[in-house]
Amino acid sequence: MNGTVIVTYRCNARCSMCNRYKAPSKPEEEISIETIRKLPKMYFTNITGGEPFIRTDLKDIVRELYKKSDRIVISTNGFFTDRIVELCREFPQIGIRISIEGLEKTNNEIRGLENGFQRGYETLKKLREMGMKDVGFGMTVQDKNAPDLVPLYKISDEMGMEFATASLHNSFYFVEAKNIIHDRPMVAQNFEDLVNELLNSKSPKKWFRAYFNHGLINYIYGQKRLLPCDMSFDTFFIDPYGDVMPCNGTKDKEVMGNLNRQSWDELWNSPEAEEVRKKVRCCDRDCWMIGSVSPAMHKYIWVPMWWIVRHKLKFWKKKKYSMYENKIVRDYRDHKVSKEELDKCSTCDLCAVINDGLSEASKEQLKEKTGEEIVAADLAAQMKE
Ligand code: SF4
Ligand code: SF4
């Protein structure tokens, strides 16, 4: 099993591509240690949010998850440096991925956090100094930050860190339906440059990352996934309310069962879970996020392997990969397909009614205050304690 635990929907950032900060969960309702104890054995667990470090009991959650998971990675915006450092002192084997959306100016504009870049960068440096091995950057590539992609990769490389990429997605999880790449050739060109950097490295792990980024070019042009999506078969997400879902890419929340009320076996083998699996089999959203692609790359390993071999064989060439290997990129260049046609292939829907996946009680609190006000008050109370 590969699992992602969304420990909270509260977030202190204001990202331009995600409205989750406007739709926080109520702390009293967030996933408890008792529910976490019911999760199955996993080979990999991702802890995410919202911003997971807003939870003051994150250490207890991690301690519990280590009893059932071989490897844990926490995705964070890196703002709460002291909390991150403290947790890493107790769990030096843990992985930390800090989202940095570009160089300083771009990052701060996209993330909407004062000094967000400096805080994220300082946190990464501190973790490195502590001797933490599994730390890295995560970047969601869009029109605004695409030119920063390779420069940011080079910074991560110099620091000896992992570099994870994503692109814009729409779903209930991001409380967003209007995300779209506008200048596809420009963004693809930056991905192409990154793919070549990765292919020219000596690290096999980076060669697989090159394949993943090749898949991102395919994704932003709205094409079918390069690998099947097997979410909900051996991979799951659990949200702050204990609802188990196949993934975080669906338009509306798809629920297989609830772990607060059910046992894992009951939930996983339920008719509701089977219904969701049927939907996944014919899902046409064609996401390309590491959460659903990494398990597929392991399962269908010969596909990325063969792609890597074909490109590595061009050992005399510095530029081993061209985005024009993708037919759709050539077709767009040659005006065989229009921007409007490609836009229609994306999940962007300007008229969509967005389901934020909140419980009734969490929705209720939004009648009095905004999500930003609720989280700010919550953080102020935490600071007093
Ligand atoms: S992308 Fe992450 S950090 Fe940004 S608002 Fe959404 S949950 Fe918060
Ligand atoms: S393609 Fe896979 S990850 Fe994306 S929404 Fe469909 S089932 Fe979820």
Q: What residues does ligand 2 touch, defined as CB less than 6 Å away?
A: 229, 231, 246-247, 249-250, 280, 283, 285-287, 292
Nearest to 70 by CA among 95, 48, 97: 95
Q: What is the pLDDT of residue 200?
A: 96
Tokens of 327: 């037919």
Give the count of alpha carbons within 13 A of 44, CB side only: 14
Output the CA 126–ligand 2 centroid distance in Å. Answer: 36
CA of 268 from ligand 2 middle (Å) equals 18
The pLDDT assigned to 315 comes to 83
With a CB cutoff of 8 Å and minimum separation 6, the contacts of 169 are: 179, 249, 287, 289, 347
Is 101 within 8 Å of 77 (Cβ atoms)? Answer: no
| Protein residue closest via CA to atom 4 of ligand 1 | 15
Residue 190 · residue 150 · CB < 8 Å: yes
Cα 329 to ligand 1 centroid, rounded to whole Å: 30
Instruction: Report the residue among 171, 250, 251 best suited for mutation to probe ligand 2: largest number of ligand atoms under 8 A from its CB.
Output: 250
Our CA angle for 138, 143, 145, nearest 5°, is 40
pLDDT on residue 115: 86
* Residue 113, pLDDT score: 86
Res 222: pLDDT: 97
How far apart, in Å, do the first and last CA atoms of the chain sit?
A: 38
- Length of the chain counted residue by residue: 385
Q: Cβ(166)–Cβ(290) under 8 Å?
A: yes
The binding-site residues of ligand 1, defined as CB within 6 angstroms of any ligand atom, are: 11, 13, 15, 18, 20-21, 49-51, 77
Q: How many angstroms does the Cα of residue 282 sit away from the middle of ligand 2?
A: 9
Question: Which ligand has the minimum distance to the alpha carbon of residue 292?
Answer: 2
Ligand 1 midpoint to CA 194 (Å)? 24
Query: How deeply is 276 buried, as exposed, middle or buried, from its count of CB atoms within 10 A (0-12, 13-18, 19+)?
Result: buried
- Separation CA 247–CA 71 (nearest Å): 19
pLDDT tens for the chain, 385 residues: list them: 999 999 999 999 999 999 999 999 999 999 999 999 999 999 999 999 999 999 999 999 999 999 999 999 999 999 999 999 999 999 999 999 999 999 999 999 999 888 889 999 899 999 999 999 999 999 999 999 999 999 999 999 999 999 999 999 999 999 999 999 999 999 999 999 999 999 999 999 999 999 999 999 999 999 999 999 999 999 999 999 999 999 999 999 999 999 999 999 999 999 999 999 999 999 999 999 999 999 999 999 999 999 999 999 988 888 999 999 999 999 999 999 999 999 999 999 999 888 899 999 999 999 999 999 999 999 999 988 7
- Ligand 2, pocket-test mutation among 283, 284, 290, 349, most atoms within 8 A of CB: 283
Atom index in ligand 2 nearest the CA of residue 251 equals 5
- State the closest ligand 2 atom to the C-alpha of 171, by its place in the atom list counted from 1: 5
Question: Residue 49 CA: which ligand 1 atom is closest?
Answer: 7
Q: Which ligand is nearest to the CA of 225?
A: 2
Q: Residue 291 C-alpha to ligand 2 middle, in angstroms?
A: 10
Atom number in ligand 1 closest to CA 17: 1
SS (H, E, C) the chain: CEEEEECCCCCCCCCCCCCHHHCCCCHHHCCCHHHHHCCCCECEEEEECCCHHHCCCHHHHHHHHHCCECCEEEEECCCCHHHHHHHHHHCCCCEEEEECCCCHHHHHHHHCCCCHHHHHHHHHHHHHHCCCCCEEEEEEECCCCHHHHHHHHHHHHHCCCEEEEEECCCECCCCECCCCCCCHHHHHHHHHHHHHHHHCCCCHHHHHHHHHHHHHHHHHCCCCCCCCCCCCCCEEEECCCCEEECCCCCCCCCCCEECCCCCHHHHHCCHHHHHHHHHHHCCCCCCCCHHHHHHHHHHCCHHHHHHHHHHHCCCCCCCCCCHHHCHHHHHHHCCCCCHHHHHHHCCCCCCCCCCCCCCHHHHHHCCCCCHHHHHHHHHHHHHHC
Q: Which atom from ligand 1 is nearest to the alpha carbon of 18? A: 6
* Maximum CA extent, the chain: 64
The amino acid sitting at 131 is G
Q: Residue 16 Cα, ligand 1 centroid: separation in angstroms?
A: 9
Q: Which ligand is nearest to the CA of 4?
A: 2
- Quick: pLDDT tens for 11-48: 999 999 999 999 999 999 999 999 999 999 999 999 99
Identify which ligand lies nearest to the alpha carbon of 139: 1
